[in-house]
Structure 1
Amino acid sequence: MAPTTDHPTDRRHRHRRLTVLRALVEMSRPDQLLLMVVVYGMGVAAAVADGRLLPTGRVALAFLAYLPLAAGVHYANEFADYGTDLLTERTRFSGGSGALARTGLSRRLALRATAASLLLGTVATLTLATVGVLGGPVLALLLGVVVFGVGYSLPPLALAWRGLGEVDNATLGGLVLPTYGFVAVAGSLSLDAVVAFVPFALFVFANLLATGWPDREADAAVGKRTLPTRLPTSTLRWLHAGALLAGFVALGVLHGGHVPTVVCWATMLAAPPFLWGVLVFTRQRSPLPTVAGMVVVALAQFGGWVAVVL
């Protein structure tokens, strides 16, 4: 019997399916989703350090409900940033995934992925709420993530196009996400917990300025008015350095009260890359130094809160 061979059409279809699948994975920003686990864990550990019992199942399910919503926010950003991604020269840490520009796939793929992810996350959230796993404060935070996460990129808010994207993103990723982890454990919102994460949000804001810098020309060309496209270079440098300094000053103010000593000292591990970032911001395209500092802060603060628990 003669060996069977794939028809060229079948090979093309299989190749296209693999291309679409790979693009969907890339557009979900798996590296950012992984970092979200750490930031969420920061809030979880802070709640346990505050004396709350750890409901492992609820904590896991709360994050599983959050995950498709976060992916939907990323897909929405890929759809909105299609024009920028076609024009910009990406760095390892700036711009979108570049998957649509690289593969030539339609931007409608990102829009369909946005709808599917948000639908999946909504169904999961409502199901968990119905059976009593998720309470009102958790649902309120998830609603904020969806409204202001999608609103970062898409109308009617389109905050990233109005110079408000950096503040919005820093609030969601630096403040709301760890608070969400805290509330998943505690079951209620605590102002003390929110205050404890303010320094991290300031570091995230500086990171967003750095990652937006390489795309400023492409963003300006498509009408996306981010802070790096709006502000003079000198102002951006002061704002970047000021946000980092404010983060460390806030840690000093909160030290020993809202933020344990070990968390404060662990955060100091990020000082060298942040100093490097201040020296090179706007002077080089790559945002690596500030990104590295922000990642170090996330890992160090998570480790610090876990150390308090142990």
Structure 2
Amino acid sequence: MPRVWTLWTAARPSQLALIVLVYSFGIGMATAGPPRISSDSAPVDPGSVSFLETALVGVVALLPVAVAIHYANEYADSDTDALADRTPFSGGSGALVRTGLPDSFLRSATLVTIVIAALIAVSVTAIVGLSLGALAILVAILLLGLAYSLPPVAFVRRGVGEVVNAVLGGLLLPLYGVTVVASPRPAAVLAVVPFTLLIGCNLFATHWPDRVADAAVGKRTLAVRWSPTRIRRGFTVLSVTAILATGLLWITGVFPNAVAVAHLAPIPFLLWGRIVLARQHSPFPAVLAMVVLAVTGTVAWWWVGIS
């Protein structure tokens, strides 16, 4: 039972749910049509059985990749997680610490899950017809996600983890959703810039409670390297840029009206997050800002696509 519980907890079910939501964010972008997707591709019909089947296939291929990345992160961060003052949003799951299982347990789980993810990805590509573009993004997510935590690369220990994490969750994940059901255009990349920037804000806040533990084991996150003042300035720059980008994307027609309004919903939480950043232990306000945009953005894109 401790092993089963560890596998479940280290997979981070709440984050898997958020990953599926962001994937749906990308699917919704595709349903809204050009200029985010190519006008030459087949029209995306959200109500068709084939569309729903394709979207489901994309989730089936994505989840084992996400679980493998989470296991790798839990394995690589076992040293800092044992020292961290955990919150619901930082410090890892604590699964290994609570059960006393060896690190090698999650190392083996990571390897097995990578094999399972590869088999499923190849199967759905060959049998069901997942596009090669979607497969390429999925492989990029897996490789970059593993390199985020694991040596010899271990981006998170080299001061670039925040950038890599934001690219993974804010750029590649929604673009994977778009590519599963349609052919994305450059406008699709532009459309996820505000969300990517808010993930950066979230990472400033979630890495702050772990800074002491991270420094003790040599993890050079920005929370370790930067002063509280600089962290708050970085948070402000990303927040303001996200808001300005939203306005620009609306003016240029990349964002429909409903989507632009949805991207303004996190502003109160960003203000709250800026006030308490590096002054309180919990990263809750910044996490809430990111989740609010994931929810409102997904609803808005689907609303535009269906209406």
TM-score grouping bracket, smaller chain normalisation? over 0.9
In the alignment, which residue of structure 2 is the partner of 1:57?
Answer: 53
In the alignment, which residue of structure 2 is the partner of 1:33?
Answer: 16
The AA in structure 2 aligned to 1:211 is: T
Answer whether contact 1:137 1:189 (CA < 8 A) is retained.
no
Structure 2 unaligned regions, length at least 5: 34-42
Deviation of the 1:132 alpha carbon: 5.2
Structure 1 unaligned regions, length at least 5: 1-17
Give the 3 Å change call, closer, same or farther, for CA 306–189 of structure 1 in structure 2. Answer: closer
Aligned to 1:251, the other structure's residue is in SS state helix
After superposition, residues 250-261 of structure 1 pair within 5 angstroms as 250-256=245-251, 257-261=253-257
The AA in structure 1 aligned to 2:124 is: L
* 1:245 and 2:240 aligned: yes
CA RMSD of aligned residues (A): 1.1
TM-score (norm 2): 0.93
In the alignment, which residue of structure 2 is the partner of 1:9?
Answer: none
In the alignment, which residue of structure 2 is the partner of 1:45?
Answer: 28
The AA in structure 1 aligned to 2:23 is: Y
Distance 1:300 1:31 in 2: 18
Moved more, 86-95 or 45-54: 45-54
Q: Deviations over 1:192-222 (max 9, x none)?
A: 1111011100000110110000000100000
In the alignment, which residue of structure 1 is the partner of 2:62?
Answer: 66
Q: Deviations over 1:243-272 (max 9, x none)?
A: 111111110110151111111112222111
Answer whether contact 1:19 1:103 (CA < 8 A) is retained.
yes
After superposition, residues 1-310 of structure 1 pair within 5 angstroms as 18-50=1-33, 51-54=43-46, 55-131=51-127, 133-186=129-182, 188-256=183-251, 257-310=253-306
Deviation of the 1:179 alpha carbon: 0.6
Deviation of the 1:56 alpha carbon: 1.5
Answer whether contact 2:55 2:181 (CA < 8 A) is retained.
yes
Aligned to 1:156, the other structure's residue is in SS state coil
Name the structure, 1 or 2, with higher relative contact order (CA <8 Å, separation 6+).
2
Distance 1:309 1:139 in 2: 24
Distance 1:259 1:113 in 2: 41
The AA in structure 2 aligned to 1:68 is: P
Deviation of the 1:33 alpha carbon: 0.4
The AA in structure 1 aligned to 2:24 is: G
Aligned to 2:265, the other structure's residue is in SS state helix
Aligned residues: 292
In the alignment, which residue of structure 1 is the partner of 2:38?
Answer: none
Bigger Rg over Cα: 1
Q: Deviations over 1:114-140 (max 9, x none)?
A: 111111110000111222511221111
The AA in structure 2 aligned to 1:176 is: L
Deviation of the 1:309 alpha carbon: 1.7
Aligned to 1:131, the other structure's residue is in SS state helix
Give the 3 Å change call, closer, same or farther, for CA 132–64 of structure 1 in structure 2. Answer: closer
Moved over 4 A (4+): none
Distance 2:19 2:128 in 1: 24
In the alignment, which residue of structure 2 is the partner of 1:4?
Answer: none
Aligned sequence identity (%): 42
Moved more, 251-260 or 45-54: 45-54
TM-score (norm 1): 0.92
Distance 2:236 2:302 in 1: 29
